[in-house]
Chains A and B, each alone.
Chain A
Amino acid sequence: MKNPSEEQSSMQEKKGVSRRAFLRGAGLTTAGTVALSAGLLSFKLEDAKAPPAILGPGEAEVRFVVNGQARTIWVEPRTTLAEALREHLSLTGAKVVCDRGSCSACTVWVDGKPVNSCITLAVDVSGREVTTIEGLAQGDELHPVQEAFIEHDASMCGFCTPGMVMSCAALLKRNPNPGLEDVKLATSGNLCRCGTYPKVFEATLAAAKKMKK
């Protein structure tokens, strides 16, 4: 039996688009390019003594810190962070909506910065710190942004809300005195079909005030 990747590439070749030709530009020579300067380079092939571990295509071990806890999961390298969190760690707060980086519903923090977990590989965050919406509250005490979202009614169907909250909380971490424009910018990638934006802005500005007290 062919493995799926072989099947895939032979499928593409049949359609006349081999993956090699498509992305690599293989076979092209570097017309008109210049200045080969081997001497300038400090790295040498021999430096690569202990080669890095090769993972996949089957499941590989990924260790990372999720919401303050060290976690180990076994996933295929093709597993996205969103999938790893949702399917392997039962953290379903981050939503997968567009699954292609366009809507930010899947926003989590990696080392404190908001990223789209649907287009980030789980293996790629190995050894790093991930915070999800589930990790924002301190025990029973909600994060001020979460509280403000409730007070200001900043959620309707709620599907975009975890991503929104992660974006807004990240903003307040970075900038304790945001203006309306800063909140708009911080949430510019978060799509909300229900149109909660004005409430989201209100809530975030209110949370900022509260956090300063």
Chain B
Amino acid sequence: MIPAPFDYAAPNTLAEAFALLEQHGDDAKILAGGHSLIPMMKLRFASPAFLVDINNIPGLSYIREEDGYLRIGAMAREADLDHSELIRSRYPIFTDASKLIADPQVRNMGTIGGNIAHGDAANDHPAVMLAMRAEVVISSAEGQRTVPIDEFFYGFYMTAVQQNEILTEIRIPIPPAGTGNAYHKLERKVGDYATAGVAVQITVDGKGFCTYAGIGLTNVNPTPMRAARSEEALLGQKMTEEAIAEAARLAAEDCNPSDDLRGDEEYKRAMVGVLTRRMIHKALERARR
């Protein structure tokens, strides 16, 4: 399988990249890790006439806390997340997710920006971002704008990133004390996309009442999905077994999985329920630490 021919440039600055995107319009696509894009080009699901490789642009792969946010540069690789001490010690949900994304080879190339910008509900980071209520920083020659994650995914492979823009940063509000988070997905084998995946972030106050609930679902809806009713069911509640079971039930009810080789609808709904319950428990456990 060989992709259709294309022109290629690897700019050294964002400004150069913007100029190329401007110049080539709809014909251009950004190349990050290439591990979603190249396979799609081989299958001719995409045939861009021009690739703008952003790998040579320095300064886009940081992972740091600043101004109340965890800020992750779009070009941070899964392996960077895996190896980051900050992530390991303070954001275990990312370690949960990055361990489950493909295999070590793919994780050495795949970027967090590409994972989100690809706009694929089967990718794992989007649900994590929903659970943490991330903001996405999108830049262009005109400036930069910040888009809440809930307004980022438009549809199948469609996101808020416009043709002349580059996703440059993901910003996550640093969660307060009493917060825990966790992600898990059911997969048939290592490297498989999720049969179903659930990301949870919970904050509880001193009395055990829920003051924040974020629940994101992977691959059980045409777009990455927030389990909004589950979150509502937890907010302000004592985190009892009943409250958790209700949240899990609502997530299973509200998702929209389709039958495929990974399982039928009923099975996937059931798995969303199970995973939601388990991830809430795991997040609570971590919140107590």
Contact = CB atoms under 8 A, between A and B. Distances in A.
A145 B119 CA distance: 40
With a 10 A CB-CB cut-off, give which of B53, B104, B139, B158 has the most chain A CB atoms.
B104
Given A57-B6, A78-B5, A188 B47 contact: no
Contacts of A25: 119, 154-155, 157-159, 161-162
Contact of B13 (A43, A80, A124): A43
Given A34-B148, A38-B142, A102-B191, 17 more contacts: A4-B4, A4-B5, A23-B157, A25-B161, A30-B162, A43-B15, A47-B15, A54-B7, A56-B7, A100-B42, A100-B43, A101-B105, A116-B106, A116-B109, A124-B10, A126-B10, A189-B105
Nearest to B83: A174
Contacts of A37: 143-145
Contact of A8 (B9, B22, B47, B104): B47
A121 B34 contact: yes
A83 B42 CA distance: 13
A9 B9 contact: no
Contacts of B35: 101, 116, 119
B221 interface: no
A120 B109 contact: yes
Contacts of A90: none
A5 B42 contact: no
Contacts of A186: 104
A114 B13 contact: no
Nearest to A96: B1
Interface residues of B, number: 70
A123 interface: yes
B77 to A, nearest CB: 9
B237 to A, nearest CB: 29
Interface size range of chain A in the complex: 35 or more
A77 interface: yes
A51 to B, nearest CB: 6
Query: Chain B binding site: helix, strand, loop or mixed by DSSP?
Result: mixed
Interface in B178-211: 190-191
B104 A185 contact: yes
Contact of B10 (A30, A52, A119): A52
B9 A54 contact: yes
B29 A23 contact: yes
Contacts of A24: 26, 29, 158, 163
A45 interface: yes
Interface in A38-84: 38-41, 43-48, 51-57, 60, 76-78, 80, 83
B7 to A, nearest CB: 5
Pairs of residues from A and B, 6 with the lowest C-beta to C-beta distance, nearest first: A189-B103, A38-B143, A25-B158, A57-B5, A77-B8, A47-B15
B131 to A, nearest CB: 21
B191 A51 contact: no
Interface in A13-37: 19-20, 22-26, 28, 30-37
Given A76-B5, A77-B51, A99 B42 contact: yes
A190 B103 CA distance: 9
Nearest to A41: B143
A48 B15 contact: yes
Contact of A113 (B39, B79, B162): B79
A44 B45 CA distance: 33
A199 to B, nearest CB: 19
A80 B79 CA distance: 22
A36 B160 CA distance: 14
Given A33-B151, A43-B13, A119-B38, A77 B6 contact: yes
